[in-house]
Amino acid sequence: MMKLDLNDTATLLGIVFGLSGFVLGIVNHLRDRAKVTVSVNWDMSMTPNPTYDPSKSWAVINVANVGRRPIYLSHASLRIPKGYGTSHLLLADSVAGKKLAEGDPPLTFPVDQTGLEKYAKDWQKIRAEIIDSTGRKWRSKRLRKKERPSWAKAPEGEQPPERDK
């Protein structure tokens, strides 16, 4: 049987507590970083007001900080697939930039859908993109077929998905 003296016990406790502190440090680092969610809702209608035309269809880009660190948004845009001569459609309301801290309400950016018909062929590849002050890009998820916006007409022979009335 092995006998532990005070020095061996202190060494063993140092290893256990040191390893525990290291693991907790990594877990805290992973938990406390910034994380942003970006989503796009197409075909929204606005209530009558002087800023937005209620006769048009609008998209709304929602940006929420679900992480623990505050971030500073540089700008927001719609990312366009290759082959259209432009890579992004910049949202003018977002250029001033905004700070988004933990627990802040999500930021919303309305987008007029007029003129997006020319991108109808690649509508599933259009994504909202947010860039923060560090240069990190946050993108929305790609849309599924049943989420086809009204400006992206279905090709001949294909039935458009049923929408909720």
- The domain spanning residue 71 has which CATH number? 2.60.40
How much is the pLDDT for 47?
82
Q: What is the pLDDT of residues 121-143, one digit of tens each?
A: 888 888 999 998 888 999 998 87
Q: Is residue 6 in some structural domain? A: no
22 falls within a domain: no
List CB contacts of 33: < 8 A, sequence separation 6 or more. 67, 68, 69
Number of domains making up the chain: 1
Q: Which of 150, 140, 82, 75 is nearest to 112 (CA)?
A: 150
Specify whether the CB–CB gap between 133 and 71 falls below 8 A. yes
pTM of the model: 0.73
Domain membership of residue 152 (yes or no) is: no
pLDDT digits (tens, 9 = 90+) for 10-56: 999 999 999 999 999 999 888 888 889 999 988 888 888 788 888 88
pLDDT over threshold 50, residue 165 = no
Count Cα neighbours of 8 within 13 Å in the Cβ-side half-sphere.
4
The pLDDT of residue 156 is above 60: no
